[in-house]
Amino acid sequence: MSSQVFHENVVVITGASSGIGRELALQLADQGAWLALAARRAEDLQDVAQACIEKGAKAIAVATDVVEETQCRALIDRVLQEYGRIDTLINNAGISMWTSFEDAEDLEGMKRIMEVNYYGSVYCTRYALPELKKTKGRLVGIASLTGVTGVPTRTFYAASKHAMMGFFDSLRIELMDTGVSVTMICPGFVSTEITRLDAGGGMADNDLVKENKTMPVATCCRIIIDRAARRKREEIMTWRGKLGRWLKLVAPGAIDKIARKVIEEGG
């Protein structure tokens, strides 16, 4: 179904220079989507756009820092200039962390997690929404299992993803009669090079997550595209995540212990 849905569908993807965003772009290019790719790293972003074009898709690269509202507005203006419409917005740009709240030394740096993950999604959605209403399009938010339940060493990250979930759940109700769908995706650990901040606001070691306990990025993106195509409300990607949501209702203490064990074991 998704290969038909996204053929010549104008799709805006934030955080598209690497990881989930890059893989989404490549898979949607295979399906003939018309892509607008946004991220801060202009050179890497252009490489992704070129790879999509070589697959026969249309693609433009728009260097964008989603923390800056004016840049988000400029992104949407550029997409409309190029394609004349927007059918799908995938709010994927994000950064994570790996430090306890007590050890976090750079609280100003940690604020960027909320600015990128939450406000970046809000800004892009704000300016894309009038166009999505015209096309009865799709809004997709890439959240996290930490948006469902708290996880140690992810305090600011979990807060940003909870904020995303609350925002888009509320927006879904507001858009109920417009034809615009809202799909929230909650992956667990995925094999990507996502930026993780350490206690001092620098780059944490990605090797802290064990590779054999992560989902391949290609698998993750196939699920995202399928759920977006079918306008599903929400996707909790892992069995552990689904179990955790249920346990949080009936045995919240148990899910706290499980969350701590998962982080201690590196995934």
Mean pLDDT of the chain: 87
The pTM of this model reads 0.87
Residue pair 195/95 in contact (Cβ under 8 Å)? The answer is yes
Structure tokens at 54: 């070589």
Token pair of 190, please? 């995925």
Kindly indicate the confidence band of residue 119, based on its pLDDT and cuts at 50, 70 and 90.
very high
pLDDT in tens, 62-87: 999 999 999 999 999 999 999 999 99
What domains, with CATH codes, occur in the chain?
2-241 (3.40.50.720)
What pLDDT, in 10s, does the model give residues 82-116? 999 999 999 999 998 878 888 888 888 889 999 99
How far is it, in rounded angstroms, from Cα 235 to Cα 143? Answer: 10
Alpha-carbon distance 122 to 115, whole Å?
Answer: 10
β-bridge mates for residue 139, sequence order:
89, 182
In tens, the pLDDT along 197-251 reads 555 555 555 545 554 567 899 999 999 999 999 999 999 987 666 666 655 665 5
**Which residue's entry shows tokens 């690497």?**
18
Active site residue ranges: 157
**pLDDT surpassing 90 at residue 264:** no
Instruction: Please check whether residue 173 is in contact with residue 215, taking contact to mean a CB–CB distance below 8 angstroms.
Output: no
Query: Contact, 93 vs 21, CB < 8 A?
Result: yes
Strands in 10-14's sheet, in edge-to-edge order, are 58-63, 34-39, 10-14, 88-91, 138-142, 181-186, 234-236
